[in-house]
Chain A
Amino acid sequence: MSAVTKSPWVLHYDASSCNGCDIEVLAALTPLYDLERFGIINTGNPKHAEVFLITGSVNEPQITVLRQLYEQMLEPKVVVACGVCACTGGVFRECYNTLGGADVAIPVDVYAPGCAIRPEAIIDAVVQGLGILEEKRVLLAAGKLEPAEMPPLPSAANKTLQGRSVALSWKDAIAQAQESSKEEPSEKEAPAQEEK
């Protein structure tokens, strides 16, 4: 165990979260669950933090932000995805603007599900992350730590996949509207001709 693992500083960022998991992360730092007695401080500066807590799913503008924050953190670092939205996209997985969990943007080390995640689960996840952090620290000291592979940026193909599902629903809606207009041709065509 080293100073880094005995008193890790935490960076908390809310991606497209509903705030439920965020207030539980803050509740884990306040009296009752009190992570501060373990030396864990919530810092706002990525250069001071070892553990990156992400809550919430990821949409397109967030990818740049998450990558910037991740790249500013110094090695060794651990990413903990708190809450099921950060793991997989959660309840909003099928929404048109949600690309998925945090692992769409940056490599994630610990996945902690829950909706909203309980502070006990956050503590458990952070402790597991500390185990991974210690392994990384040892590798770094030996000069053998390789930077984790970043997931690919949503390519045009990926975006079209997202758009395709919405576009398919549009095609259904247009087809349905055309069918219903074929059923009553006389009423609908007359006003349309007048407007033209």
Chain B
Amino acid sequence: MQAPAFTEITLDQLAGKLSSYKEDGWRFANLCGTTAGNMVEILISFTLDEKIDNLLLFVEKGVKVPAVSKIFPSAFLYENETFDLYGVKFDGTILDFDGRFYITSVPTPMNPHSLAAEEYLASSSDEEANNG
């Protein structure tokens, strides 16, 4: 069995890679986020028969990523989920729930460094200061 490949790419290389995978007939398998320090590491996985190729994209706070769902339509669910849990916005996702996909009690629960998390911390510390 071939070991799965993990390749780190930058934001501008993304569109090229996606089109080449689509042309060669790879199947889109996964898109998920992980908090890595101040950034969010986005993992995009593709499979073809037994091979698994993984792309790693490190995204900073507030940066928008071009949508994967324009090329692989079933990715729209993953993009909405990553926005809800990590605060990473995908530009042009085909069905956009705009933050209401998972109605979480707390904004971006998996990522402490996102813009929404900072606002929440600021507002809740104001509340604590007011409540004394």
Q: Chain A: residues with CB nearer than 8 A to chain B?
A: 59-61, 96-97, 99, 159-160, 162-164, 166-167, 169-171, 173-174, 177
Residue of B nearest to A98 (CB): B105
Please indicate which of the listed interface residues B37, B106, B113, B127 has the most CB atoms of chain A within 10 Å of its own CB. B106
Are A170 and B117 in contact (CB-based, < 8 A)?
A: yes
Distance between Cα atoms of A90 and B112 in the complex (Å): 26
Are A60 and B112 in contact (CB-based, < 8 A)?
A: no
Are A163 and B112 in contact (CB-based, < 8 A)?
A: no
Given the interface pairs A97-B105, A99-B105, the reply to whether A170 lies near B121 with Cβ below 8 Å is yes
* CB-based closest 6 A-B pairs: A170-B112, A163-B106, A96-B109, A173-B112, A166-B106, A162-B105
Are B37 and A162 in contact (CB-based, < 8 A)?
A: no
Within 8 A of A (CB), among B38-72: 38
Cβ contacts under 8 Å, A60 to chain B: 103, 105
A-B contact count (CB 8 A): 44
Mark contacts of B79-105 with chain A using CB atoms, 8 A cut-off: 1 yes-contact digit, 0 otherwise. Answer: 000000000000000000000001111
Given the interface pairs A167-B124, A169-B112, A174-B113, the reply to whether A96 lies near B104 with Cβ below 8 Å is yes
29 residue pairs of the A-B complex, CB under 8 angstroms, read A59-B103, A59-B105, A60-B103, A96-B105, A96-B106, A96-B109, A97-B105, A97-B109, A159-B105, A160-B127, A162-B105, A162-B106, A163-B105, A163-B120, A163-B124, A164-B124, A166-B106, A166-B109, A167-B106, A167-B120, A167-B121, A169-B112, A170-B117, A171-B112, A171-B121, A173-B35, A174-B112, A177-B37, A177-B113
Cβ contacts under 8 Å, B38 to chain A: 177
CB distance from B101 to the nearest CB of A (A): 12
